[in-house]
């Protein structure tokens, strides 16, 4: 059950008279309290085991490439339901995969998904445990992009790939009101900058954008990077600053197409933003929400108490994650309906034209 909070929310429950991660932005929030033992155990384990290990990693091009392979290997252990169909994709010259979470999908509805991974690791394979559940919740095919990343590629390669894939969907007959853009962490950044670029190019906007713990300020200036540094169970701040500098590669980190938290978001479609209360990136989420509302963009903001970065990937085991995915699905379905998209159920929804490959 969520509570409407007109401002900042507690970063850590059970602290007497103390709140962490308070942003300089005061934004209306849907606050979801922590309820499960799984969430407490996960945060404790990540804080004492994973975060200290990650903090010691010295990133080099070789380590970055190894991280990509290692992350894929570990996350492929997360379960995928037996009735999920996965097929290779290539849209606009951008590889990826189609993920269909069962047969209860809407014909022509697509979620174009950009995985996270700090712009140097992660892939459609690493995010299957999330994308198949999003497919089912949104009743949409998911096109998970395998966009170009460092160390081999740098900005603006990911942005070019996302725009090319969206153009391809339009050219193949998908209606924009049936398309959703979604992403987590760096993928949330990519969703926002893609929407900004689509606006600049005069292309029709999709029905909505879904942002899971978006990494939206590569200048690393949010107050939660300091206030939540000790409470975030997963992300070391020093590593975050390093990968931001690496990806920007000499460009102004506050450039709108690098840090959408600083961009003019006028004309963007409705947005849903989800973040954990103790994340170092919580300020990024709040900056996006405040910016969107200042620009007249409809934006819902949900804060999940004590949840780690991209906790939604653990839906099916973590109750809060399952509820968060359900919220995403409800938002997606409502946004498509409001945009005038297809809402009729068609068993075994098919691609508009061409094949899955």
Q: Report phi then psi at 62, rounded to 5.
A: -65, -45
Residues 297, 272 contacting (CB under 8 angstroms): no
Burial group, residue 257, by CB count within 10 angstroms (0-12, 13-18, 19+): middle
β-strands 208-212, 94-101: how paired?
Answer: unpaired
Q: Is 23 a catalytic residue?
A: no
> Which of 206, 326, 207 has the alpha carbon at shortest distance from 274?
326
What stretch of H or E contains 134?
A: helix 128-138
β-strands 299-304, 271-276: how paired?
Answer: parallel
Residues 335, 62 contacting (CB under 8 angstroms): no
* Structure tokens given for 316: 């099916």
Q: Which residue has the tokens 């950044």?
A: 189
**Of the listed 123, 135, 185, 224, which one is catalytic?**
185
DSSP 38-59: HHHHHHHHIIIIIHHHHHT---
Q: Is 36 a catalytic residue?
A: no
**Of the listed 309, 320, 327, 335, which one is catalytic?**
309
Q: Is 322 a catalytic residue?
A: no
> Which of 158, 178, 191, 163 has the alpha carbon at shortest distance from 274?
191
d(CA 236, CA 213): 15
**Of the listed 160, 177, 279, 305, which one is catalytic?**
279
Q: Tell me the three state secondary structure of residue 344.
A: coil
Write out the catalytic residue numbers. 185, 279, 309
């Amino acid at each position: 059950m969520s509570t409407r909070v007109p401002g900042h929310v507690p970063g850590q429950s059970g602290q007497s008279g103390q709140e962490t991660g308070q942003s300089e932005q005061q934004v209306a929030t849907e606050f979801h309290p922590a309820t499960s033992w799984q969430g407490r155990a996960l945060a404790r384990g990540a804080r004492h085991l994973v975060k200290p290990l990650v903090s010691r990693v010295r990133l080099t091009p070789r380590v970055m490439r190894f991280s990509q392979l290692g992350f894929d290997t570990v996350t492929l252990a997360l379960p995928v339901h037996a009735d999920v169909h996965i097929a290779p994709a290539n849209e606009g010259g951008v590889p990826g995969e189609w993920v269909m979470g069962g047969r209860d999908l809407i014909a022509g509805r697509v979620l174009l998904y950009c995985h996270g991974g700090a712009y140097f690791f992660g892939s459609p394979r690493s995010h299957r445990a999330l994308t198949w559940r999003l497919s089912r919740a949104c009743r949409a095919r998911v096109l998970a992009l395998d966009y170009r990343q460092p160390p081999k590629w740098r900005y603006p390669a990911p942005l070019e790939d996302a725009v090319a894939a969206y153009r391809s969907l339009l050219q193949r007959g998908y209606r924009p009101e049936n398309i959703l853009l979604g992403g987590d962490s760096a993928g949330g950044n990519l969703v926002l900058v893609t929407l900004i670029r689509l606006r600049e190019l005069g292309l029709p906007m999709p029905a909505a954008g879904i942002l899971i713990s978006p990494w939206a300020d590569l200048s690393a200036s949010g107050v939660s990077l300091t206030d939540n540094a000790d409470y975030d169970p997963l992300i070391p701040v020093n590593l975050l600053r390093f990968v931001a500098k690496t990806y920007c590669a000499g460009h102004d980190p506050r450039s709108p197409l690098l840090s959408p938290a600083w961009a003019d978001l006028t004309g963007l479609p409705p947005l849903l933003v989800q973040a954990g209360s103790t994340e170092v990136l919580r300020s990024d989420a709040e900056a996006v929400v405040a910016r969107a509302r200042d620009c007249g963009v409809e934006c819902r903001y949900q804060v999940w108490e004590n949840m780690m970065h991209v906790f939604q990937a653990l839906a099916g085991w973590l109750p809060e994650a399952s509820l968060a995915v359900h919220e995403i699905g409800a938002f997606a379905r409502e946004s498509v309906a409001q945009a005038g998209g297809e809402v009729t159920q068609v068993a075994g929804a098919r691609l508009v034209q061409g094949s899955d490959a």
